Chains A and B, each alone.
Chain A
């Protein structure tokens, strides 16, 4: 294999001179070197020429179809700086965070009032406003009556007691 490395120019100059000298005095080495040289020369000028077996149109159609499928066009240059790369992630992350924060704020500020209505088309309705648990509304459409009961604490009695407004 030293002969091969010599033939391929892969040896340092001093070693190449030694191999050359050896091949010149040793018949077997000279024969082997000649064989390797013949094959190398033959290959150098005789790479097989091959034609693509498919038609130009058919081959291109397959490539084009795959390129279209893999869009977008990939020629855009990659980010050249670390900040540019960071910015690609930072802006979307900030946007998502803002949405999350807005959602949380909206949730906690949402009115806690809920109106529960016990409904019966004919029966009187009673509404309890949870936001203000001190008020209860009694409405009787047939009688044209609306009664609102308030409960509040007084100085004398810290326990809330109802007061009716007709």
Chain B
């Protein structure tokens, strides 16, 4: 046992202790970062139960792969990558069983976003942060899995086009067109929400 105080130790110390087999150190890491990992899983899947299951699976894989964590990035970044990959696998499996709606097929084929009128007024101006978060969350929920995935990876994970393409398994052109559609759709949805309120 390392004898460290888990609640006051930093992540590096906890990771080091966990790699020595101290499960309690790993428990502290889970406690600290479970919300963040869950939030990423939810933003990818838009489904609470799936997000809980996938974030749980991510933590178990994190424990199993602790020996591979080199410290090149932060522990949370490393864990986030694990949960993202699990979510992408999950979405791929779902897509195989899913029947696309006509709207989704039009979105995937591209070109629809060019017909959307430009939103000239900033739909988010003047909104309180909490309210803005709520509206954005609602709008994200109306995008297809493919579109909110690229949006999440680009806007929240700061991935560039090439990295997104590699992570998701599609071309850079597809990433660009999905991102373009997702942003235009978000603008339209937020503008509608603003009109309603």
**Which of B80-88, B95-103, B180-188 contacts the other chain?**
B180-188
User: Does A42 contact B23, Cβ atoms closer than 8 Å?
Assistant: no
Q: For residue A63, which residues in chain B have a CB less than 8 angstroms away from its CB?
A: 30, 56, 59-60, 63
Question: Main SS of chain B's interface residues?
Answer: helix
User: Does A60 contact B30, Cβ atoms closer than 8 Å?
Assistant: yes
User: Does B123 contact A38, Cβ atoms closer than 8 Å?
Assistant: yes
User: Does A74 contact B180, Cβ atoms closer than 8 Å?
Assistant: no
- With contacts A40-B155, A47-B133, A50-B42 taken as known, whether A31 is within 8 angstroms of B120 at the C-beta atoms is yes
- B104, CB-defined interface residue at 8 Å: no
- A115, CB-defined interface residue at 8 Å: no
Other-chain contact of A75, B19, B154, B177 (Cβ < 8 Å): B19
- A110, CB-defined interface residue at 8 Å: no
Which positions in B face A, CB cutoff 8 Å? 18-21, 23, 27, 30-31, 34-35, 38-39, 42-43, 48, 52, 55-56, 59-60, 63-67, 118-120, 122-125, 129, 132-134, 136-137, 140, 151, 154-156, 160-161, 176-177, 179-180, 183-184, 186-187, 190
User: Does B154 contact A67, Cβ atoms closer than 8 Å?
Assistant: no
Complex-state Cα separation, A8 to B119, whole angstroms = 19
19 A–B contacts from the bound complex (CB under 8 Å) = A4-B180, A10-B161, A35-B118, A35-B183, A35-B184, A41-B124, A46-B136, A50-B42, A52-B34, A53-B38, A53-B48, A56-B34, A59-B52, A60-B27, A63-B30, A64-B27, A66-B56, A74-B63, A74-B67
Other-chain contact of B118, A28, A42, A49, A74 (Cβ < 8 Å): A28
Other-chain contact of B67, A4, A31, A40, A77 (Cβ < 8 Å): A77
- A102, CB-defined interface residue at 8 Å: no
Task: Give A11 Cβ to nearest chain B Cβ, in Å.
Answer: 11
Complex-state Cα separation, A119 to B30, whole angstroms = 77
- Which residue in chain B gives the minimum CB-CB distance to A48? B137
